[in-house]
Amino acid sequence: MNLYYKIWVDAIVKMRSLPANKGLWKFYSITFISTAMAVNLALIIALIQRHILRFTFYQIKIDIFPGTKIDALISFFILYFSIPLVINYFLIFKNNRYELLIEKYKSYNGKLCAAYLVISYFLPLILLYLSYFITKYF
C-alpha cells in the first residue's frame, strides 16, 4: 500500500502544481491512474485466462451499438476501469483523504507517477511484441 499511496501523492502534487490543471487536477489524476490500473488488471486477467487456465471466465458481451468498438469500450469500462475508479475514489478522494496522504508521503516531482504510467501503458505492448517475435522466429 505504501507504493500505491506514494504514486498517488506524487501524481496529486504534480497535477496541482501545473497551472493548466487548475480545477481539473482531481479528474486528470484519477483518470490517468485508474486507466493505468485498468490496463494492468486487463493484462493480468488476460494472462491468467489465456496462459494459465486456458479458458475465459471474465467477460461480458455487450451488443447495443452497430459494430464492435463502442461495445468493447463499454465492456472495458464495466469490467476493468470501474473497479480501480471506485477503489481510488474511496482510498484517495473520499473525505479529501489525499490531504492527509500528502502530509505523510513525500512527492518525487511527478517522476514516480510518470514511471508507473509509462510502465503500465507500454508493458502490454512490449509483451505483445515479444510474443509475436518469439512465435515467429522460434
Q: Are 42 and 123 in contact (CB under 8 A)?
A: no
Task: State the Cα–Cα distance between residues 89 and 138, nearest whole angstrom.
Answer: 45
Residue 83, C-alpha cell as written in the block? 473497479
- At 73-119, the pLDDT tens digits run 999 999 999 999 999 999 999 999 999 999 999 999 999 999 999 99
Q: Who's near 15: CB < 8 A, 6+ residues apart?
A: 21, 25, 28, 29
Task: State the Cα–Cα distance between residues 71 and 4, nearest whole angstrom.
Answer: 31
- At 13-41, the pLDDT tens digits run 999 999 999 999 999 999 999 999 999 99
Question: pTM for the whole thing?
Answer: 0.89
Helices (H), the chain: 2-17, 25-47, 69-76, 82-88, 97-104, 111-137
What residue numbers bound the domain in which 109 lies? 2-137
The number of folded domains in the chain is 1
